[in-house]
Amino acid sequence: MAVEGGDKEVKRLRKVWKKLKKSGDASKDEVKRARRAYKDAKKMAASVERSHSPPSPLGGDKAESPVAANAASELPVPPEPVQKKKGRGRMSKAERKALKKASGRGRKRKAPANADAIRLAKESARAAATEASKKQKRVAAKPKPISRKAQMIVNSLKSGKSRGTISDRLNPAHRNFDSELKSKWASFTNRERSAISVADLEAIEKREAAVAAISYPFNPDPDDHCESPVQAYEHLAPILQQIADSIGKKPSDLRIYDPYYCAGACVRHLGSLGFTNVYNRCEDFYARIAAGDVPDHDVVVTNPPYSADHVPRLLKWARENGKPFFLLMPNHFLQKDYYNAANMLYLYPAKRYAYWTPKGLRGIDRVQRQHAGSGGYRTSPFISFWYVYPQPALTTGEVMKSWHTSRRELKNQGQDISVCTLCKLEKIPPHVMPLENY
């Protein structure tokens, strides 16, 4: 029985040694002591076995030693095996550091590791890892700086000074195409492109919210909700510049009055061309005429509503107002009985003007949703052009002379002068004139 008990003890000590060796949590000294205890017990078991066995033909009976009995009591208590983390099967760096500190591993270890210390170390390591993860998320949540060029684009979108959306500016076929932005777009990081896209979307939503918040002091016809394109103002700008020069003002000081309010696009478009002193408010124009408090102005520039009697009322007031006026209207008004062609000029484009209905101002069934952009929904139902009345600031002859002079200069510079034409009524080409049976 003593021999059998000795074998069991040897096996147990061997398992302890192997377990400490494989666990990686015990120090080298602990592994060495366990191995030494196993070897001593193995020798003692062999000695006891020889003492209880028949005499060897070669002799050599050996007496039992008390070392085996005391071997187990001298061994250190093996630590509880540490379970590996799920997932990759590895502990994090923070967990290993905390575990090493709590278990006493290292050159200055004072006491062997035990199960409680390991458990506390693991809990501390997990807490440290969780806190580190939270800190990392907080740092990642903070907006990181972007390049100066990308920030300038974001600022222009947020301020509303950007001409067109980002998709417009990146589209080579669009009139607002920005070749510089297109060339640099690929060099932006994903974070910068994302910041620009977010600012672009916010600008669109801001414009739509502003339109939705408009409260008109009159009952507008939904079909009248059309804002003029910036191209029309670009074509008119040279004549407005000539008017400003004739009265000794800078373009920024020229007082422009647009009595019909839609969503305020004319202020943005004229402002982008240097004419920043524009009065266009959401108010009842006819009520101001009746009260006699029309805002002070130097010229009238407007795209009036075409429904009801708006155009004849506007023409009557404009003639009596005594100021130059520029009206953007369809060609068929030339045939109306109330129209007076005296001292009028006409500025027509080579390509028909397209107007924009801001989103939310007209029923979805009354717009062309396939033609949508930053200005809303595009529409071009009529051939339209500017009805130009420059008096009393300038005569029609002075305007025509200045126009042809500037056209020659632009032509000599190699610029395209066919985008628009200024002429008298009899010079309007047939394809621009209204149909006879309109």
The larger pLDDT score, comparing residue 330 to residue 27, is at: 330
Amino acid residing at 196: I
Q: Does 367 have pLDDT greater than 60?
A: no
Work out the average pLDDT over 170-178: 82
pLDDT digits (tens, 9 = 90+) for 192-210: 888 888 888 888 788 777 7
Q: Half-sphere exposure (CA, 13 Å, Cβ side) for 232?
A: 26
Q: Does 49 have pLDDT greater than 50?
A: yes
Work out the average pLDDT over 384-402: 97
Work out the average pLDDT over 74-95: 56
Output the six-digit token pair for 338.
């109330």
pLDDT digits (tens, 9 = 90+) for 405-417: 999 999 999 888 8
Residue 242 to residue 353: CA distance in whole angstroms = 23
Work out the average pLDDT over 363-376: 51
Confidence band for 263, pLDDT divided at 50, 70 and 90: confident
Q: Are 265 and 227 in contact (CB under 8 A)?
A: yes
On the question of a cis peptide bond just before residue 238, with omega within 30 degrees of 0, the verdict is: no
Work out the average pLDDT over 26-52: 77
The larger pLDDT score, comparing residue 193 to residue 176, is at: 193
Q: Are 71 and 9 in contact (CB under 8 A)?
A: yes
Q: Does 302 have pLDDT greater than 80?
A: yes
Least confident range from 14-23, 326-335, 353-362: namely 353-362
Residue the block writes with tokens 């990392």:
136
Q: What pLDDT score was predicted for residue 206? A: 81
Helices then strands, counting H and E runs in the chain, come out as 14, 10
Confidence band for 273, pLDDT divided at 50, 70 and 90: very high
Q: What pLDDT score was predicted for residue 393? A: 96
Phi then psi dihedrals of residue 390, to 5 deg:
-85, -10
Q: Does 368 have pLDDT greater than 80?
A: no
Confidence band for 400, pLDDT divided at 50, 70 and 90: very high
pLDDT digits (tens, 9 = 90+) for 222-258: 777 788 999 999 999 999 999 999 999 999 999 999 9
For 14, residues 6+ apart whose C-beta sits below 8 A from its C-beta are: 38, 42
Amino acid residing at 13: L
Residue 308 to residue 176: CA distance in whole angstroms = 35
Residue 374 to residue 109: CA distance in whole angstroms = 71
Q: What pLDDT score was predicted for residue 361? A: 52
pLDDT digits (tens, 9 = 90+) for 306-335: 998 999 999 999 999 999 999 999 999 999
Residue the block writes with tokens 């379970």:
83
Output the six-digit token pair for 147.
């390049």
**DSSP state letter for 369:** T
Q: Where are the alpha helices (DSSP H) in 53-141?
A: 67-74, 93-103, 115-141
- DSSP run (H or E) holding 421: strand 420-423
> What residue ranges do the domains of the chain occupy?
2-141, 148-212, 222-427
Q: In Å, what is the CA distance from 75 to each residue of 23, 44, 107?
A: 17, 16, 21
